[in-house]
Amino acid sequence: MRLFAFCMTFLALLCPAMNGFEKMTLEELVQLGEKHRVCISVPEFETTPDQVKNAISNAIAEAEKDLARLASQPLDKLTFDNTVRALDDIGWRAGQVASRAVLLKETSPNPEVRKAATEAVKQFQEWAVGLDYREDVYRVIKAYADSNPKLEGEDAKLLKETLRDYRRAGLHLPKPQRDEIEALRKELAKLCTEFDQNINNAQCTLVFSRAELEGLPEDFLNLPEIKVGPDQYAIKVNVSWQYLTVMETARNEQTRKRVLIAQHSLAKEENTPILERILALRDTIAKKLGYPTWADYQLEIKMARTAERAIQFEKDLIAALEEKFKAELAEMQKLKSH
Protein backbone atom coordinates (compact mmCIF):
# COMPACT_ATOMS: atom_id res chain seq x y z
CA MET A 1 0.00 0.00 0.00
CA ARG A 2 1.38 3.37 -0.99
CA LEU A 3 0.23 5.12 2.18
CA PHE A 4 1.84 2.61 4.54
CA ALA A 5 5.14 2.97 2.67
CA PHE A 6 4.84 6.75 3.06
CA CYS A 7 4.12 6.43 6.79
CA MET A 8 7.20 4.32 7.39
CA THR A 9 9.35 6.66 5.31
CA PHE A 10 8.02 9.64 7.28
CA LEU A 11 8.87 7.95 10.57
CA ALA A 12 12.35 7.09 9.34
CA LEU A 13 12.93 10.72 8.37
CA LEU A 14 11.34 12.11 11.52
CA CYS A 15 13.28 10.14 14.13
CA PRO A 16 16.78 11.54 13.40
CA ALA A 17 15.32 15.03 13.02
CA MET A 18 13.50 15.13 16.35
CA ASN A 19 16.27 17.11 18.03
CA GLY A 20 15.21 20.10 16.00
CA PHE A 21 11.73 19.97 17.53
CA GLU A 22 12.63 19.31 21.18
CA LYS A 23 12.02 22.92 22.23
CA MET A 24 8.79 23.36 20.28
CA THR A 25 5.48 23.27 22.11
CA LEU A 26 2.50 21.30 20.82
CA GLU A 27 0.82 24.56 19.89
CA GLU A 28 3.86 25.60 17.84
CA LEU A 29 3.91 22.22 16.09
CA VAL A 30 0.20 22.52 15.30
CA GLN A 31 0.79 25.97 13.81
CA LEU A 32 3.71 24.62 11.77
CA GLY A 33 1.50 21.82 10.51
CA GLU A 34 -1.27 24.21 9.52
CA LYS A 35 1.25 26.21 7.53
CA HIS A 36 1.97 23.10 5.47
CA ARG A 37 -1.66 21.90 5.43
CA VAL A 38 -0.92 19.01 7.82
CA CYS A 39 -3.07 18.21 10.86
CA ILE A 40 -0.85 17.61 13.91
CA SER A 41 -2.33 16.24 17.13
CA VAL A 42 -1.21 14.10 20.04
CA PRO A 43 -1.79 10.48 18.97
CA GLU A 44 -3.25 7.86 21.26
CA PHE A 45 -0.81 4.98 21.41
CA GLU A 46 -1.49 1.42 22.44
CA THR A 47 0.29 0.64 25.72
CA THR A 48 -0.08 -3.14 26.14
CA PRO A 49 0.61 -6.12 23.87
CA ASP A 50 -3.11 -6.96 23.71
CA GLN A 51 -3.98 -3.41 22.70
CA VAL A 52 -1.42 -3.52 19.90
CA LYS A 53 -2.69 -6.86 18.65
CA ASN A 54 -6.34 -5.82 18.82
CA ALA A 55 -5.70 -2.46 17.15
CA ILE A 56 -4.18 -4.05 14.05
CA SER A 57 -6.77 -6.83 13.89
CA ASN A 58 -9.62 -4.33 14.20
CA ALA A 59 -8.09 -2.01 11.60
CA ILE A 60 -7.79 -4.86 9.12
CA ALA A 61 -11.32 -6.08 9.88
CA GLU A 62 -12.78 -2.60 9.32
CA ALA A 63 -10.81 -2.21 6.11
CA GLU A 64 -12.08 -5.57 4.88
CA LYS A 65 -15.69 -4.46 5.44
CA ASP A 66 -15.06 -1.24 3.53
CA LEU A 67 -13.32 -3.11 0.71
CA ALA A 68 -16.24 -5.52 0.41
CA ARG A 69 -18.62 -2.57 0.05
CA LEU A 70 -16.37 -0.97 -2.54
CA ALA A 71 -16.09 -4.19 -4.56
CA SER A 72 -19.83 -4.93 -4.53
CA GLN A 73 -20.95 -1.70 -6.21
CA PRO A 74 -22.83 -1.83 -9.51
CA LEU A 75 -20.43 -1.05 -12.34
CA ASP A 76 -22.83 1.51 -13.80
CA LYS A 77 -22.86 3.55 -10.57
CA LEU A 78 -19.14 4.14 -10.19
CA THR A 79 -17.69 7.56 -9.38
CA PHE A 80 -14.29 8.84 -8.37
CA ASP A 81 -15.47 9.21 -4.77
CA ASN A 82 -16.81 5.67 -4.38
CA THR A 83 -13.84 3.99 -6.11
CA VAL A 84 -10.40 5.60 -6.21
CA ARG A 85 -10.90 8.01 -3.32
CA ALA A 86 -12.66 5.35 -1.25
CA LEU A 87 -9.74 2.94 -1.76
CA ASP A 88 -7.25 5.64 -0.78
CA ASP A 89 -9.25 6.48 2.35
CA ILE A 90 -9.39 2.82 3.37
CA GLY A 91 -5.62 2.59 3.09
CA TRP A 92 -5.15 5.82 5.01
CA ARG A 93 -7.29 4.73 7.96
CA ALA A 94 -5.59 1.34 8.24
CA GLY A 95 -2.19 2.93 7.71
CA GLN A 96 -2.68 5.21 10.72
CA VAL A 97 -2.88 2.18 13.00
CA ALA A 98 0.04 0.47 11.26
CA SER A 99 2.21 3.57 11.66
CA ARG A 100 1.68 3.49 15.42
CA ALA A 101 2.73 -0.15 15.47
CA VAL A 102 5.88 0.68 13.49
CA LEU A 103 6.81 3.39 15.97
CA LEU A 104 6.10 1.16 18.98
CA LYS A 105 8.21 -1.59 17.41
CA GLU A 106 11.17 0.76 17.29
CA THR A 107 10.75 2.85 20.44
CA SER A 108 8.64 1.20 23.16
CA PRO A 109 10.61 0.64 26.40
CA ASN A 110 8.49 -2.47 27.03
CA PRO A 111 9.99 -5.53 25.26
CA GLU A 112 6.62 -7.29 25.22
CA VAL A 113 5.01 -4.31 23.49
CA ARG A 114 7.87 -4.22 20.96
CA LYS A 115 7.39 -7.93 20.30
CA ALA A 116 3.63 -7.52 19.85
CA ALA A 117 4.18 -4.51 17.58
CA THR A 118 6.62 -6.49 15.44
CA GLU A 119 4.06 -9.24 14.95
CA ALA A 120 1.40 -6.62 14.23
CA VAL A 121 3.56 -5.03 11.54
CA LYS A 122 4.13 -8.44 9.95
CA GLN A 123 0.39 -9.10 10.01
CA PHE A 124 -0.37 -5.74 8.44
CA GLN A 125 2.29 -6.03 5.76
CA GLU A 126 1.00 -9.44 4.68
CA TRP A 127 -2.52 -8.04 4.50
CA ALA A 128 -1.34 -4.93 2.63
CA VAL A 129 0.45 -7.03 0.01
CA GLY A 130 -2.67 -9.16 -0.39
CA LEU A 131 -4.76 -6.04 -0.93
CA ASP A 132 -2.82 -5.35 -4.13
CA TYR A 133 -4.14 -8.65 -5.49
CA ARG A 134 -7.83 -8.27 -4.60
CA GLU A 135 -9.34 -8.97 -8.01
CA ASP A 136 -12.79 -7.81 -6.92
CA VAL A 137 -11.44 -4.41 -5.91
CA TYR A 138 -9.27 -4.15 -9.02
CA ARG A 139 -12.27 -4.98 -11.21
CA VAL A 140 -14.16 -1.96 -9.86
CA ILE A 141 -11.19 0.41 -10.11
CA LYS A 142 -10.43 -0.76 -13.65
CA ALA A 143 -14.09 -0.44 -14.69
CA TYR A 144 -14.14 3.15 -13.47
CA ALA A 145 -10.86 3.93 -15.26
CA ASP A 146 -12.19 2.38 -18.48
CA SER A 147 -15.14 4.78 -18.39
CA ASN A 148 -12.63 7.53 -19.27
CA PRO A 149 -13.64 9.93 -16.49
CA LYS A 150 -12.82 13.60 -16.98
CA LEU A 151 -10.49 14.20 -14.04
CA GLU A 152 -8.03 16.99 -13.37
CA GLY A 153 -5.28 17.81 -10.90
CA GLU A 154 -4.74 15.56 -7.91
CA ASP A 155 -7.74 13.37 -8.76
CA ALA A 156 -6.29 12.50 -12.15
CA LYS A 157 -2.89 11.92 -10.57
CA LEU A 158 -4.33 9.58 -7.93
CA LEU A 159 -6.14 7.47 -10.53
CA LYS A 160 -3.03 7.28 -12.70
CA GLU A 161 -0.83 6.23 -9.79
CA THR A 162 -3.38 3.70 -8.53
CA LEU A 163 -3.42 1.98 -11.92
CA ARG A 164 0.37 2.20 -12.06
CA ASP A 165 0.67 0.48 -8.68
CA TYR A 166 -1.63 -2.33 -9.82
CA ARG A 167 0.58 -2.83 -12.87
CA ARG A 168 3.70 -2.82 -10.68
CA ALA A 169 2.08 -5.50 -8.53
CA GLY A 170 1.57 -7.66 -11.62
CA LEU A 171 -2.22 -7.47 -11.99
CA HIS A 172 -1.78 -7.56 -15.77
CA LEU A 173 -0.15 -11.00 -15.58
CA PRO A 174 -1.89 -14.41 -15.68
CA LYS A 175 -3.20 -15.52 -12.28
CA PRO A 176 -0.57 -18.24 -11.64
CA GLN A 177 2.18 -15.63 -12.06
CA ARG A 178 0.31 -13.11 -9.90
CA ASP A 179 -0.08 -15.67 -7.14
CA GLU A 180 3.62 -16.46 -7.24
CA ILE A 181 4.62 -12.80 -7.07
CA GLU A 182 2.19 -12.19 -4.21
CA ALA A 183 3.72 -15.05 -2.22
CA LEU A 184 7.24 -13.78 -2.89
CA ARG A 185 6.33 -10.24 -1.84
CA LYS A 186 4.76 -11.47 1.40
CA GLU A 187 7.89 -13.45 2.21
CA LEU A 188 10.03 -10.41 1.42
CA ALA A 189 8.00 -8.13 3.70
CA LYS A 190 8.24 -10.63 6.56
CA LEU A 191 12.01 -11.04 6.18
CA CYS A 192 12.61 -7.27 6.06
CA THR A 193 10.76 -6.87 9.36
CA GLU A 194 12.72 -9.75 10.91
CA PHE A 195 15.99 -8.20 9.69
CA ASP A 196 15.20 -4.89 11.39
CA GLN A 197 13.96 -6.55 14.56
CA ASN A 198 17.11 -8.67 14.91
CA ILE A 199 19.13 -5.45 14.93
CA ASN A 200 16.78 -3.85 17.46
CA ASN A 201 17.07 -6.87 19.77
CA ALA A 202 20.84 -7.31 19.42
CA GLN A 203 23.09 -6.32 22.31
CA CYS A 204 26.82 -5.70 22.30
CA THR A 205 28.95 -4.27 25.10
CA LEU A 206 32.55 -3.14 24.70
CA VAL A 207 34.78 -2.40 27.69
CA PHE A 208 37.36 0.40 27.52
CA SER A 209 39.91 1.99 29.80
CA ARG A 210 39.70 5.64 30.82
CA ALA A 211 42.57 6.49 28.49
CA GLU A 212 40.75 4.94 25.53
CA LEU A 213 37.76 7.17 26.25
CA GLU A 214 39.65 10.44 26.40
CA GLY A 215 37.40 13.33 25.42
CA LEU A 216 34.15 11.90 26.76
CA PRO A 217 32.26 14.04 29.32
CA GLU A 218 32.98 13.25 32.97
CA ASP A 219 29.30 13.04 33.87
CA PHE A 220 28.87 10.39 31.18
CA LEU A 221 31.84 8.35 32.39
CA ASN A 222 30.62 8.47 36.00
CA LEU A 223 27.22 6.99 35.22
CA PRO A 224 26.78 3.68 37.11
CA GLU A 225 25.88 1.80 33.93
CA ILE A 226 29.07 3.09 32.25
CA LYS A 227 31.70 2.83 35.01
CA VAL A 228 31.61 -0.87 35.86
CA GLY A 229 34.96 -1.30 37.61
CA PRO A 230 38.38 0.21 38.30
CA ASP A 231 39.38 1.78 35.00
CA GLN A 232 36.63 -0.18 33.24
CA TYR A 233 33.91 1.54 31.23
CA ALA A 234 31.19 -0.42 29.45
CA ILE A 235 29.74 0.99 26.24
CA LYS A 236 26.60 -0.63 24.84
CA VAL A 237 26.90 0.02 21.13
CA ASN A 238 23.26 -0.94 20.60
CA VAL A 239 22.14 1.94 22.85
CA SER A 240 21.99 5.04 20.67
CA TRP A 241 22.94 7.68 23.25
CA GLN A 242 25.99 5.70 24.37
CA TYR A 243 27.08 4.97 20.79
CA LEU A 244 26.67 8.59 19.68
CA THR A 245 28.47 9.99 22.72
CA VAL A 246 31.55 7.91 21.92
CA MET A 247 31.44 8.61 18.19
CA GLU A 248 31.03 12.36 18.68
CA THR A 249 33.46 13.00 21.55
CA ALA A 250 36.10 10.24 21.79
CA ARG A 251 39.49 11.46 20.63
CA ASN A 252 40.98 8.00 20.19
CA GLU A 253 40.50 6.88 16.59
CA GLN A 254 40.78 3.19 17.42
CA THR A 255 38.08 3.53 20.07
CA ARG A 256 35.69 5.11 17.58
CA LYS A 257 36.58 2.46 15.02
CA ARG A 258 35.85 -0.42 17.43
CA VAL A 259 32.50 1.07 18.37
CA LEU A 260 31.55 1.80 14.76
CA ILE A 261 32.39 -1.70 13.54
CA ALA A 262 30.58 -3.33 16.47
CA GLN A 263 27.47 -1.20 15.91
CA HIS A 264 27.43 -1.98 12.20
CA SER A 265 27.86 -5.70 12.97
CA LEU A 266 24.83 -6.06 15.25
CA ALA A 267 22.90 -9.28 14.52
CA LYS A 268 25.41 -10.15 11.80
CA GLU A 269 25.13 -13.91 12.31
CA GLU A 270 21.32 -13.97 12.28
CA ASN A 271 20.92 -11.45 9.51
CA THR A 272 23.44 -12.69 6.96
CA PRO A 273 21.25 -15.57 5.68
CA ILE A 274 18.18 -13.32 5.86
CA LEU A 275 19.92 -10.65 3.78
CA GLU A 276 20.97 -13.23 1.21
CA ARG A 277 17.36 -14.37 0.88
CA ILE A 278 16.09 -10.78 0.70
CA LEU A 279 18.46 -10.00 -2.18
CA ALA A 280 17.43 -13.16 -4.03
CA LEU A 281 13.73 -12.39 -3.54
CA ARG A 282 14.11 -8.83 -4.76
CA ASP A 283 15.89 -9.95 -7.90
CA THR A 284 13.32 -12.67 -8.60
CA ILE A 285 10.35 -10.33 -8.06
CA ALA A 286 11.83 -7.64 -10.29
CA LYS A 287 12.51 -10.05 -13.14
CA LYS A 288 9.08 -11.68 -12.90
CA LEU A 289 7.55 -8.20 -13.21
CA GLY A 290 9.67 -7.46 -16.28
CA TYR A 291 12.39 -5.25 -14.78
CA PRO A 292 16.13 -5.85 -15.31
CA THR A 293 16.95 -5.32 -11.63
CA TRP A 294 15.32 -4.48 -8.30
CA ALA A 295 16.89 -1.03 -8.59
CA ASP A 296 15.06 -0.45 -11.87
CA TYR A 297 11.80 -1.57 -10.25
CA GLN A 298 12.26 0.78 -7.29
CA LEU A 299 13.42 3.75 -9.35
CA GLU A 300 10.62 3.61 -11.91
CA ILE A 301 8.48 5.87 -9.71
CA LYS A 302 11.40 8.13 -8.74
CA MET A 303 12.97 11.03 -10.60
CA ALA A 304 15.82 8.87 -11.92
CA ARG A 305 13.38 6.36 -13.51
CA THR A 306 16.11 3.75 -14.20
CA ALA A 307 19.17 2.33 -12.46
CA GLU A 308 21.33 3.34 -15.41
CA ARG A 309 20.35 7.00 -15.07
CA ALA A 310 20.93 6.93 -11.31
CA ILE A 311 24.40 5.43 -11.73
CA GLN A 312 25.29 7.93 -14.45
CA PHE A 313 24.13 10.79 -12.21
CA GLU A 314 26.45 9.56 -9.45
CA LYS A 315 29.35 9.26 -11.87
CA ASP A 316 28.78 12.80 -13.15
CA LEU A 317 28.49 14.10 -9.59
CA ILE A 318 31.72 12.42 -8.53
CA ALA A 319 33.56 13.82 -11.54
CA ALA A 320 32.29 17.34 -10.83
CA LEU A 321 33.11 17.23 -7.11
CA GLU A 322 36.32 15.17 -7.09
CA GLU A 323 38.72 18.11 -7.04
CA LYS A 324 36.85 19.94 -4.28
CA PHE A 325 36.45 16.71 -2.33
CA LYS A 326 40.19 16.06 -2.36
CA ALA A 327 40.88 19.60 -1.17
CA GLU A 328 38.40 19.32 1.70
CA LEU A 329 39.72 15.88 2.63
CA ALA A 330 43.24 17.25 2.83
CA GLU A 331 42.00 20.07 5.07
CA MET A 332 40.23 17.61 7.36
CA GLN A 333 43.33 15.41 7.57
CA LYS A 334 45.33 18.49 8.47
CA LEU A 335 42.89 19.34 11.27
CA LYS A 336 43.01 15.74 12.50
CA SER A 337 46.80 15.78 12.75
CA HIS A 338 46.55 18.62 15.25
For the segment 133-168, what is each residue's pLDDT rounded down to a tens digit? 999 999 999 999 999 999 999 999 999 999 999 999
Alpha carbon separation from 184 to 10, 13, 169, 285 (Å, rounded): 26, 28, 11, 7
Q: CA–CA separation, 76 vs 80, rounded Å? A: 12
Per residue in 106-134, pLDDT tens? Answer: 889 899 999 999 999 999 999 999 999 99
Instruction: Round to whole Å and give the CA distance between 199 and 191.
Output: 13
Q: What are phi and psi of 7, to 5 degrees?
A: -60, -45
Residue 208 has pLDDT above 60, yes or no: yes
Least confident range from 32-41, 211-220, 283-292: namely 32-41
Q: What are the structural domains of the chain?
A: 2-172 (1.20.1050.40), 205-266 (no CATH), 306-338 (no CATH)
- Check residue 20 and give its pLDDT: 43
Q: What is the mean pLDDT of residues 319-331?
A: 96
User: Which pLDDT belongs to residue 23?
Assistant: 64
Q: How far apart are CA 18 and CA 213, in angstroms?
A: 27
Q: Coil, strand or helix: which one is 63?
A: helix
First to last CA, the chain: 52
* pLDDT at residue 37, rounded to an integer: 85
pLDDT above 90 covers a percentage of the chain that reads: 85
C-alpha radius of gyration, the chain, whole number: 25
* DSSP E strand boundaries for the chain: 205-208, 227-229, 232-236
Does the model's pTM come out above 0.85? Answer: no
Q: 10 Å Cβ neighbour count for 58?
A: 12
Average per-residue pLDDT in the chain?
92
Task: Check pLDDT > 90 for residue 15.
Answer: no
Mean pLDDT over 81-92 rounds to 98
